[in-house]
Amino acid sequence: MTWTVLWSPHAIRSAKKVPRPVLLRIRNDLLALVKEPDPRPFLKKIKGQECGTVYSHRVGMYRIILDIGHDCLIILVIEVGHRKHVYRDM
């Protein structure tokens, strides 16, 4: 079975601000993560009290913030943006 990628409305809005070549790299990285049986070893866990299953994935100078479901094969994209700004609202 493969993972399913869902995009939050906020992630869709923030992805529109990312340059197209970077978006293509993000898409390719997400497609590679979906094929993995467990993508967590390729992600960095975000530290914090309310961030239980929230992870970060590096794509050059940009970051993808993901929420991974434990009991279902769903990867929810929460935020996409430059590393300078992406962690501010977390």
- In tens, the pLDDT along 66-90 reads 998 877 889 999 999 999 988 876 6
The answer to whether position 86 is within a domain reads no
* Structural domain harbouring 27: 4-80
Looking at the structure of the chain, the number of domains it has is 1
The answer to whether position 88 is within a domain reads no
The answer to whether position 21 is within a domain reads yes
The answer to whether position 51 is within a domain reads yes
Q: What is the pLDDT of residue 2?
A: 79
CA 25 to chain CA mean position, Å: 12
Does 23 score more than 90 pLDDT? Answer: yes
The answer to whether position 15 is within a domain reads yes
The answer to whether position 85 is within a domain reads no
The answer to whether position 44 is within a domain reads yes
Report the CATH number at residue 63: 3.30.2310.20
